[in-house]
Amino acid sequence: MKSDIDRFMQESDIDALLIVGSARHNAAMTYFTGIVHVSDGYVLKKRNHEPILFHFPMERDEAARTDMQIKNLEDYDSAKLLKKAEGNRVLARAMRLKQIFDEFAVKGRVSIYGIGDVGAFYGLFQTTKDLIAEVELVVEPRTSSVLSRARITKDEEEVARIRKMGEVTTEVVAETAQFLSSHKAKHGHLVNGDGDVLTIGEVKRQINYWLAQRGAENTEGTIFAIGADAGVPHSTGVDDQPVEIGKPIVFDIFPSEDGGGYFFDLTRTWCLAYAPDHVSQIYQDVFDVYQKVYAALEPGKLCTDFQKLTCELFEARNHPTVLNTPGTEIGYVHSIAHGLGLDIHEAPRFRQEEGNEDILQPGSVITVEPGLYYPEQGLGVRIENTVWVRPDGKLETLANYAMDLILPIKS
């Protein structure tokens, strides 16, 4: 949580955090600023000091809305700096950083964060390094950085915001189900009252429309993948294809607050009208594993323990998994869970790999998402909920939605 930051900085011997870029779609920045229209700037946080937001003059009112200490970057006279740097914009920006560090007495190890042009910032940081002897620019390992450790647990306000996104998400999933169910089948796919074929693209457009109506945003897109496409976890579905009946549809929806705030993540697998037996069996396997893993989840254990458990449960039902068939593209091919918050994927990690020692902690918000994939058999199945590990150690699903496989349609 935010309240841990100074302690973590102390533990990691970090003297200041420097976060660059926009306050939108930039989790490390938004974590401090909230969602405001500050399209470029810095957040500087010294250990045991309040963070300061550096902004450009046209965005001064937006910056002021953060209630943070703010500082206008034009105070450093960029035209003058650029002239001094003989038109070298990178050098001018490094010189401005030097002025900032001098003014605010920043010394020692400064850890850098933020989303931006990785080339431009590589240039800026290299130049800054050479220009400012008193400061060491530090890249903390992303899996154990101060902000990753802080963000791995959520405070009440954060959980409330994720929960609210869960309401929005399940409402939109309900709208989607109702919309699909209002269609009839013809030649194996959905058609509307006029006989027009319903395409995946149209469903996705409607989803964005229902999300926008509720003040949510869908920058990462939606997965609505049918049959063989559903058999590849991140295939998103092909827009101009018809919505087919009797085939599994993996519907994975992960919207956020408008402007790049907190996410929610939910997946259902639906068969429209009916489900073939082999799909129902696979579905049952995924559902059973979901229930067992959910029941087993408890804080204090290694996250990878739950991934191992998931693999073992699937293997006991004769599905290949990444545990004993590394690199498999059939069976169970991904991780059981991931943390989520201001990023759709954040700590903790559940993947079994060298160096992953993440512990499941009270206060984390994670997904639980077992799945099975057999693209050659034209199928994939995944079930996913977003779950809060409460401070008391109990689990709470942050938004509930029916888990039925079959979605009836108009007859």
Q: Does 235 bind a copy of itself (CB under 8 A)?
A: yes
Contact letters (x/-) for a copy of itself, 143-182, by CB under 8 A?
x---------------------------------------
Q: According to the binding rule CB under 8 A, does residue 119 interact with a copy of itself?
A: yes
Q: Give residue for tokens 């109506």.
A: 213
Q: Does 74 bind a copy of itself (CB under 8 A)?
A: yes
Query: Which token pair is 49?
Result: 């000091």
What gap in Å lies between CA 373 and CA 180, rounded to an integer? Answer: 24
Q: Compute the distance between CA of residue 258 and CA of residue 24 in angstroms, rounded to an integer.
A: 9
Residue 354 or residue 392: which is nearer to a copy of itself going by CB?
354
Cα–Cα dist 407/118, whole Å: 45
Q: For the window 24-43, what string marks contact with a copy of itself as x by the rule CB under 8 A?
A: xx-----------x-x----
The yes or no reply on residue 136 touching a copy of itself (CB under 8 A) is no
- The CB-of-367 to a copy of itself minimum distance in angstroms stands at 15
Q: Which of 11, 13, 61, 157 is close enough to bind a copy of itself by CB under 8 A?
A: 61
Residue from 102, 117, 376, 396 in contact with a copy of itself (CB under 8 A): 117
State which amino acid sits at residue 214: R
8 A C-beta contact, residue 150 and residue 4: yes
Instruction: Check binding of 12 to a copy of itself (CB under 8 A).
Output: no
**184-186 and 135-138 beta bridge pairing:** unpaired
| Nearer Cβ to a copy of itself (102/357) | 357
Q: Element (H or E) spanning 226, and its range? A: strand 222-226
- Hey, CA dihedral for 7, 9, 13, 16, is it positive or negative? negative
Closest contact distance (angstroms) between CB of 239 and a copy of itself is 9
Select from 52, 131, 137, 197 the one that contacts a copy of itself (CB under 8 A): 137
Q: Does 355 bind a copy of itself (CB under 8 A)?
A: yes
Tell me the DSSP string of 60-88: HHHHHTT-SEEEEGGGG-HHHHHHHTTT-
The smaller minimum CB distance to a copy of itself, of residues 122 and 130, is found at 122
Calculate the dihedral angle through the C-alpha atoms of 160, 161, 165, 168, rounding to the nearest 10 degrees.
70
Contact between 332 and a copy of itself by CB under 8 A: the answer reads no
Position 211 contacts a copy of itself (CB under 8 A)? yes
Residue 229 or 384 with smaller CB distance to a copy of itself: 229
Min dist CB 370 to a copy of itself, Å, is: 15
Does 15 sit near a copy of itself (CB under 8 A)? no
Of the candidate residues 73, 95, 112, 266, the single one contacting a copy of itself (CB under 8 A): 112
Query: Which one, 19 or 398, has the nearer CB to a copy of itself?
Result: 19
Stretch that binds a copy of itself, among 116-124, 172-180, 287-295, 306-314 (CB under 8 A): 116-124
Phi, psi of 153 (to 5 degrees): -115, 145
**CA–CA distance, 10 with 201 (Å, rounded to integer):** 50
Q: What residues between 264 and 323 interact with a copy of itself by CB under 8 A?
A: none
Give the relative orientation of helices 303-316 and 277-296 as an angle to the nearest 10 degrees: 150
Give, in degrees to the nearest 5, the angle at Cα 346 between 44 and 123.
45
Rank residues 78 and 280 by Cβ distance to a copy of itself and give the closer one. 78
Q: How far is the CB of 385 from a copy of itself (least distance, A)?
A: 20
For 186-204, b/e burial (b = at least 16 CB within 10 A) is: eeebbbeeeeebbbbebbb
Q: What amino acid is encoded at 120 in this protein?
A: A
Nearer Cβ to a copy of itself (206/397): 206
Closest to a copy of itself by CB, 35 or 282: 35
Note whether 393 binds a copy of itself by CB under 8 A: no
Contacts with a copy of itself by CB under 8 A: the residue count is 78
CB of 337 to a copy of itself, least distance (A): 15
CA distances, 381 to each of 251, 280, 312, 402 (Å): 9, 10, 18, 15
